[in-house]
Amino acid sequence: MDIFSLVTGRAGPSGFGSASTAEQVTEGIDASNRTVIITGGASGIGLETARVLALRNAHVIIAARNMEAANEAKELILKNHQSARVDVMKLDLSSVKSVREFVDKFLSLDLPLNILINNAGVMFCPYQLSEDGIEMQFATNHLGHFLLTNLLLDKMKETAKATGIEGRIVNLASIAHIHTYRNGIMFENLNDKKSYSDKRAYGQSKLANILHARELSRRLQAEGANITANAVHPGLIMTNLMRHSAISTRIFKAFTYYLWKNVPQGAATTCYVALDPRLKGVSGKYFADCNEMETTAFGRNEELAMELWDFSNKLVNSASKP
């Protein structure tokens, strides 16, 4: 979408645009036969995504690190939609152990899984390593979701085969993927504190979200699985995600107020890609303002996507060793 469309909210080819809300893009869709996991569904656009999908009758599982906030989110949804099906489960994406425990618990419930929305993340945080010794933004935004997705894939394939309903995986990326390190992904110096930039590290993790969806899509299509994988940019939204740079972000917003969205608008593209029937079979793409968009050259680099996949596997396997 061009700047004019972004500012005015003019609809694109999908019939929706930057001003569209999550409720608007899902109007008339019945998701009562869908089970959805949403990471980070306790606040911000994750909560709005959970609320709207529950409104469309999906069984929503909010996966969150803060269980108090997750339970409050559940109560908020039920207060406005008493028949909503909402459950909460503990998940810390920065921890390989927590991801594995979450998946084990979910699988023990013997529920179907139609849609996985990899929404949670951290942004612009000071340099720190996860408990597995991995740079925190990369560990939380990409690696945790990479492992979560891989561990849930068999359940999604099983569900798609048994129901005939296409499975969908949605990665929350960002336009910030354009501002990454020189070579895209710092495979050799991922944890280097000296070269760390909170903004570029965030951009790197969002580029990884796009490349993950691209390579995952290629693999799913190669085996004929009835599952799509896409990445989305939700837009510029003021949420708790920006708590590490609140002052500078507010100053930036004061000069670019016409580019920002509210939370219902920010959740629209996620809900559109997760539920819209017109996107059946559409996979490996990048969406913004509910329309397909082009990424940077890094985001379209198939070799980089495959290298990231192998690199991520090695990190996960290393972190999983006792």
Structure tokens at 233: 């940019």
Positive or negative, the CA dihedral 192, 93, 246, 260 is: positive
Q: What are phi and psi of 287, to 5 degrees?
A: -120, 145
CA distance 14 to 11: 7
Structure tokens at 253: 């917003």
CA distance 283 to 56: 23
Burial of 218 (0-12, 13-18, 19+ CB in 10 A): middle
Q: What are phi and psi of 223, to 5 degrees?
A: -95, 0
Instruction: Categorise residue 141: left if φ over 0, alpha if ψ from -120 to 50, beta otherwise.
Output: alpha
Active site residues: 196
Listed in sequence order, the residues at least 6 apart from 214 whose beta carbon sits closer than 8 Å to its beta carbon are 229, 231, 284, 299, 300, 302, 305
